[in-house]
Every structure is written in structure tokens, then in C-alpha cells.
Amino acid sequence: MKKENIKPVDPGNNPSPHYSVSELDRKARFVVLFLIMSGVFWLLLGTLLALLASVKMHLPEFLGNAGWLTFGRVRPLHLNTVVYGWSSLTGAGVALWILSRLLKIPIQLRGYILVAGVIWNISLFVGSIQILAGFSRGIEWLEFPVSTMVAMVLCVIIISASVMQMIIMRNVKQLYVSVWYILAAFLWFPLLGLVSSLPVFDTPTVQAGMNWWYAHNALGLWFTPICLAAAYYFIPKVLGRPIYSYGLSLLGFWGLALFYNWNGFHHLIGSPLPTWFVTISISASVMMVIPVVVVAVNHHMTVVGSFKAVKYSPTLRFVVFAAMSYTFVSLQGSMQSLRSVNEVIHFTHFVAAHAHIGMYAFVSMMLFGACYYIIPRITLREWHSKSLIKWHFWLTAIGIIIYVGALQFIGLFQGWSMNNPDVPFTDTVTMTIPYLVARSASGILMGAGHLIFAWLLIKMVFRTSEQPAGAQVLDNIRKEFTV
């Protein structure tokens, strides 16, 4: 640490030294880059698997002779790599960087986080081979074997310990709303992961209940808090303008904390689950309208009048798109939980598109935006090509709009046809084929965007004209362990 960067603070209140922004970023550099770059590796793999699965939906014979590349293995692996690889690893990196900036303290336990990150990646690799070999748990969002899941949860617990230590040692008194969201995410996810790994969900009904309790909460209590924390940090930061109403932001946080966790059971409308379980879930889902509208109003009122800034900032382009998608997917989710709507859209492509608004248009776009802000600051380098950033945005934005538009449009007709006894079931399948082709086309657009993002990242980190990042790797590891 450079001596000139340390400024004295009131020692009676807090003995921690004051760190400059550049010092915080320098200390965050290696850990955050490692988490983000490994996340991007899993994004590329997950995208390839998504394209394979998508093509197989309209060309079932494509690579049909290889058992390990059948739809039943490729599709779950796509989901698990983007959820636990790309979104979780990158989300953890983004969350740690935001915490470091907001609490004005370096990321704690950096050496342990690196070890956890390596174990996390090895677990993902082993779990991926197991799924391709046919050893899946067969539970959506939980296809990785329990051993892989437990290993990943233990890694998150190590990062949670770092989060707690940063909050305890913080150099500010008041906690910003983003800190609340991140703290909650790192407390909730270990609970979700450990409970879902318990060997007590032995009957199909209870297992289905656990499945949707976990899957819905993984989105709502793990990814959503991290991404909303990012939105509440980056929107004011880029605009140079505080959030419209801090009180509303806290209302939104506690609304999520109180209403969200019972939502998942609305996936089981019409199942043998007790009716009261499902009815409470529907009520909780509708109650979610309150925190969602609160967040939407707050973000809109902060951005309104500054749309030029959105156009000129790569971060805000992605973050505002993601924030709008959050409002859309959440309100749509509340509607979908109603029994009358659910009986049409259940078992249709509408639901797959809905999930992609959540995990892609909201979560992934938010993480892209966060990376565009964070990486130049921790590497002290500028993005290689501004035109390619624009290409990345438009390819992914148009890609996901085509994906959602095509599948939700045909999903509605598919649902109405499935409820019509005069329509043969095969017709409800064949009518979707042109839209499944559109999905593959949209996947190619999004995949091209991901390749551009990976290329920009590699060019920035491993640029040979300046200090080569690769040569510093061993030196950085040594420094992290001497903390």
C-alpha cells in the first residue's frame, strides 16, 4: 500500500485507515478480474450449449448420435453453466467490487476468495462432465450432483465471510441500499443451496415443492439482490446524480425480503401440493408488485431527463435495459402466477421466454453493464474498441427481444391450443417450429455479442503493448496470500 494514499480518520470511531479509490481498486483487481474472467469462460460455454439445445428443438437429429450431446444433457448443462458459472461468479466479483467502493475498505480474505474461486471452477468442471455423462439429479436448476452443489455453496460461504468482515470493518457508518441487497444475497444463497441439498425431499410432491422454492428464490434472492445493488450503484454514479428517493429504495429492499421467498410455489398450480401452499404463493407473487413498482419509479425518476447520458455510457445502456427488463419480468411474473393465466401458459414456450427475460435481459445485461464500468478502473486501461461495445449492446439487446417476442407470442397460441380438445397435440408442437428457428437465430445474435465481449475483455487484460497481465499472475497470487 502506498503511504500517500492513507489519510487519518477519527481513531476513536474507527481504527481502519482511509483508502483512496485507486487503492481500493488496486487491491480488488486480481480477485475481481479472476471471478469475472472465469465467469465469461462459462458464459461462452453456456452459449454454445444453448445454441446446440435450441437447434435440437427444430432439428432433433442434429448431433443425435452422440449420447452425451442429447437434448436432455445439453440443455440442463446450459442452464447450470450460465447460472452457477457466468452469473454467480461474475455477480460475486461485481458485488465484492461495489462493496469495497461503498464501504471504503479493501476486499477482505482475498487469498481465501481466490482459493474458493478455483474450487468453484473445478466443481463446475466436474459437475459438467457428470451431467454430460448422464449423472444429473433430474431437478431443474439443481441438475449438478449434490457434491458439486455443496462445494459451490461452501465457496459462497467463504465469500460471505469476506462480505461480513468488510461490513464489520467498514469506514462509513451508514449502509447504502446496495450494501443491504448484497449482504442479504450472501446470507440467503447459502441457506437455499444447503437446504436444497438435504436428503429429505424424498417424495415427488415434496421434491417438486423444494425444486421451485429453490429455483425461484435463486433468481429472486441471489441474482436479483446483486443486480439491483448494481443498478442502485451505477445509475447514480454514471449520472453524477443521487438516487431519486433513498426511502423508496429501502422500501423496495424490505419488500423483496418479506414477500419474495414464498413465490416459487406458483409454478405448481394444479399439482398435488396443498392448495394453501399455492394460494399463499400467488398472494406473495401479487404482493411483489409493490417493491417492483417502487424500484421502477425510483430508477425512472433518477434517469429521467438524462437520456443522452444513457446513450453515451456503455454501462448505463446495459444497466437501464436491465432495470427496465426487471420491471417487465416481475410484473409479468405476478400476472403469470394467477390461476386463470397460468392454466394457459403453463407447459408452453411462454415460460421459457419469461425465464430468459429474468436471467438474460435483467441479470446478464446488468452484469455486462457492471463489467464495462469496473474493468477499466481495476486494470487502469481503456476498452479496445468503442464501436465493438455498441455492437455488443445491440446484438444482445435485439437478440433477446427477438427471443422473447417469438416465444411469448407463440407460447400464448400454444397454450390456447393445448386447452382446446379439438386441436390434436401434434399440431400444438408443429405450430411452434418457425418460432423455434427464430429462437436459434436470436441465439446466434446473442452469441456473437458474447464473443465480442470476451474479445474486448481479453484485449484489455492481456494487452501486450502495456504491462502483460499474464506475467503478473504468480506475483499477484503471492501478494494476495501475504495479506
Partner 1 sequence: MSTGALILVISSLLIIGGGLALFLWAFFNGQFDHIQKGSMLPFDEEEPPGRRTDQILREIEEGEHQTRGSRK
Does 180 bind partner 1 (CB under 8 A)? Our answer is yes
- Comparing CB distances to partner 1, the nearer of 221 and 438 is 221
- Which phi and psi (to 5°) does residue 7 adopt? -115, 145
36 lines the binding site for partner 1 (CB under 8 A): no
Work out whether 368 is an interface residue with partner 1 (CB under 8 A).
no
The answer to whether residue 142 forms part of the interface with partner 1 (CB under 8 A) is: no
Minimum CB distance to partner 1, residue 125 (Å): 29
Smallest separation, CB 245 to partner 1 (Å): 8
SS3 state at 7: strand
Least distance from C-beta 311 to partner 1, angstroms? 7
Which of 126, 286 has the CB closer to partner 1? 286
Q: Are 111 and 483 in contact (CB under 8 A)?
A: yes
Among 9, 59, 69, 309, binds partner 1 (CB under 8 A): 309
With CA atoms as reference, report the closest residue to 100 among 155, 182, 158.
182
Q: Which is nearer to partner 1, 16 or 476 (CB)?
A: 16
Pick the closest to residue 374 from 279, 254, 202, 234 (CA basis).
234
The answer to the question of residue 21 lying near partner 1 (CB under 8 A) is yes
C-alpha cell belonging to residue 144: 449438478
55: which residues sit within 8 A by CB, 6+ positions away? 62, 440
The closest of 81, 86, 83, 105 to 20, measured between CA atoms, is 105
**Axis-axis angle for helices 365-379, 224-239 (nearest 10):** 60
The one among 147, 203, 420, 472 contacting partner 1 by CB under 8 A:
203
CA–CA distance, 137 with 131 (Å, rounded to integer): 9
- At its nearest, how many Å lie between partner 1 and the CB of residue 111? 27
Angle of helix 177-196 relative to helix 204-218, nearest 10 degrees?
160
Q: Does 168 bind partner 1 (CB under 8 A)?
A: no
Should residue 191 be labelled a site residue for partner 1 when binding is judged by CB under 8 A? yes
Using rule CB under 8 A, residue 247 touches partner 1: yes
Does residue 150 touch partner 1 according to CB under 8 A?
no
Q: Is 4 in the site for partner 1 (CB under 8 A)?
A: no
What contacts 421, CB < 8 A, 6 or more positions away?
Answer: none
Q: Does 386 bind partner 1 (CB under 8 A)?
A: yes
- Are the beta carbons of 335 and 345 closer than 8 angstroms? no
Among 80, 128, 136, 313, binds partner 1 (CB under 8 A): 313
Binding segment for partner 1 (CB under 8 A), chosen from 233-241, 287-295, 416-424, 474-482, is: 233-241
Q: Which of 315, 445, 308, 449 is nearest to 383 (CA)?
A: 315
Q: How many residues bind partner 1 (CB under 8 A)?
A: 66
254 is a contact residue toward partner 1 (CB under 8 A): yes
Counting contacts by CB under 8 A, is residue 283 touching partner 1?
no
What is the Rg, in whole angstroms, of the alpha carbon atoms belonging to the chain? Answer: 22
Closer residue to partner 1, CB minimum distance, 193 or 443 = 193
Kindly state the cell numbers that stand for 410: 407463440
**Rule CB under 8 A: is residue 396 a binding residue for partner 1?**
no
In the list 138, 311, 475, 481, the residue contacting partner 1 (rule: CB under 8 A) is 311
Q: Which is nearer to partner 1, 43 or 374 (CB)?
A: 374
Q: Report DSSP state, residue 146.
A: H
**Going by C-beta distance under 8 Å and a sequence separation of 6 or more, which residues neighbour residue 356?**
400, 403, 404
Q: Which of 382, 426, 430, 482 binds partner 1 (CB under 8 A)?
A: 382
Task: Find out whether 369 and 230 touch, Cβ atoms under 8 Å.
Answer: yes
459 binds partner 1 per the rule CB under 8 A: no
Residue of 73, 101, 216, 267 interacting with partner 1 (CB under 8 A): 101
Q: How far apart are CA 257 and CA 192, in angstroms?
A: 14
Residue among 177, 40, 156, 169 nearest 98 (CA): 177
Q: Which burial class, exposed, middle or buried, applies to 155 when counting CB atoms under 10 A from its CB (0-12, 13-18, 19+)?
A: buried
Q: Does residue number 272 form part of the binding site for partner 1 (CB under 8 A)? A: no
Binding of residue 188 to partner 1 (CB under 8 A): yes
Q: Is 468 in the site for partner 1 (CB under 8 A)?
A: no
User: Rounded to the nearest whole angstrom, what is the least distance from the CB of residue 349 to partner 1 in the complex?
Assistant: 29
Q: Which amino acid is at 131?
A: I
Secondary structure class of 18 (helix, strand, coil): strand
Q: How far, in Å, CA of 167 to CA of 409, rounded?
A: 46
Least Å from the CB of residue 257 to partner 1 = 3
Question: Can you tell me the distance from the alpha carbon of 149 to that of 136, in angstroms, rounded to the nearest whole number?
Answer: 12
Is residue 58 part of the contact set for partner 1 (CB under 8 A)? no
Q: Which is nearer to partner 1, 241 or 346 (CB)?
A: 241
CB of 175 to partner 1, least distance (A): 6
Nearest one of 474, 383, 370 to 89, comparing CA atoms: 370
DSSP structure class, residue 62: T
Least separation in angstroms between residue 183's CB and partner 1 is: 8
Q: Which residues bind partner 1 (CB under 8 A)?
A: 20-21, 101-102, 104, 172-178, 180, 183-184, 187-188, 191-192, 195, 198, 200-203, 206-207, 209-210, 213, 217, 221, 233, 236-243, 245-247, 249-250, 254, 257-258, 261-262, 309, 311-316, 372-373, 382-383, 386-387, 389-390
